[in-house]
Amino acid sequence: MSDLSLFSLKDRRALITGSSQGIGFALAQGMANAGAKIVLNGRDATKLQAASGLIPGSESLAFDVTDHDAVRKAVDRFEKESGPIDILINNAGMQHRTALEDFPADAFERLLQTNIASVFHVGQAVARHMIERGCGKIINIASVQTALARPGIAPYTATKGAVANLTKGMATDWARLGLQCNAIAPGYFDTPLNAALVADPEFSAWLEQRTPAGRWGNVEELVGAAVFLSSDASSFVNGHTLFVDGGITASL
């Protein structure tokens, strides 16, 4: 096997949750270019079909990642009818910005369900099939807030810290069964989730000063990390959180 072939995703099928836009869609495009067969996921079937039309040969699988039974049924049906899911990227997530003392309880619950419970639901459903085959790749999307906090997003920070620890737990339970389970922690990227921050000149100026790279990240810059963790190049990498953040977690 040549050095470059280690990074090939040819003939491997990747399910990416929350992939009709933003980071998930960028990862889908990049991994398709590396040879993967892409399965897009979201709750909105219309948005999924539109996104799928932009990635030749891709499929779409609509289900709510917060609904344990729906996830299990959708994954089991897909595996039976379409074939194995070799790679799972748990990307679905949401944000809610409010001072902690005023943070609504229902918003907190939605964050827990969308950002961390979904990783358990989809991860378990897909892993059961991977375990039967003795191989598989799971990548959970964490955040720079896995390691750092900033005002107004304490519950989000809690969920992303939990993603990193659940990733470690997945690796601890499943590495011996042939799975590699890791996480990617993006820094500040120009995405729909961050639209309000991108549009705020004061915040952007602060970010440029705070980040050693001096800028927002572009979503395409996450593709290399995803391809690496999805490929044979990472065959002995397990339980790791890879920060792709322009150096923000390395610098005071």
Q: Does residue 156 have an active-site annotation?
A: yes
Please state the φ and ψ torsions of residue 172, each to the nearest 5 degrees.
-65, -40
Identify the DSSP state of 220: G
Percent of the chain as helix, strand, coil, to the nearest 5 = 50, 15, 35
Better-scored residue on pLDDT, 66 or 196? 66
Residues 83-105 have pLDDT tens digits of 999 999 999 999 999 999 999 99
Query: Catalytic one among 63, 78, 156, 243?
Result: 156
Element (H, E) at 48: helix 45-52
Q: What band does 2 get if pLDDT is binned at 50, 70 and 90?
A: low
| Residue 1 reports pLDDT greater than 80 | no
Q: Where are the domains of the chain?
A: 4-245
pLDDT per residue as tens digits for the range 143-182: 999 999 999 999 999 999 999 999 999 999 999 999 999 9
CA distance 15 to 17: 7
Provide the mean pLDDT of the chain: 96
Q: If DSSP codes are grouped into helix, strand and coil, which group holds residue 148? A: coil
Residues 74, 61 contacting (CB under 8 angstroms) = yes
The region of weakest confidence among 69-78, 82-91, 98-107, 190-199 is 190-199
pLDDT over 70, % of the chain: 99
What does DSSP say about strands 87-90 and 59-62: parallel, antiparallel, or unpaired?
Answer: unpaired
Quick one: pLDDT at residue 191? 87
16 vs 140: CA distance, rounded Å: 10
Short-list 231, 242, 238, 244, CA closest to 36: 231
Looking at CATH, the fold of the domain delimited by 4-245 is given as Rossmann fold (3.40.50)
CA-nearest of 57, 55, 50, 119 to 82 is 57
For residue range 17-65, what is the model confidence (pLDDT) as tens digits?
999 999 999 999 999 999 999 999 999 989 999 999 999 999 999 999 9
Instruction: Please say whether the beta carbons of 93 and 115 come within 8 A.
Output: yes
In our burial notation (b when 16+ CB lie closer than 10 A, e otherwise), range 165-177 reads: ebbbebbeebeee
Quick one: pLDDT at residue 72? 98
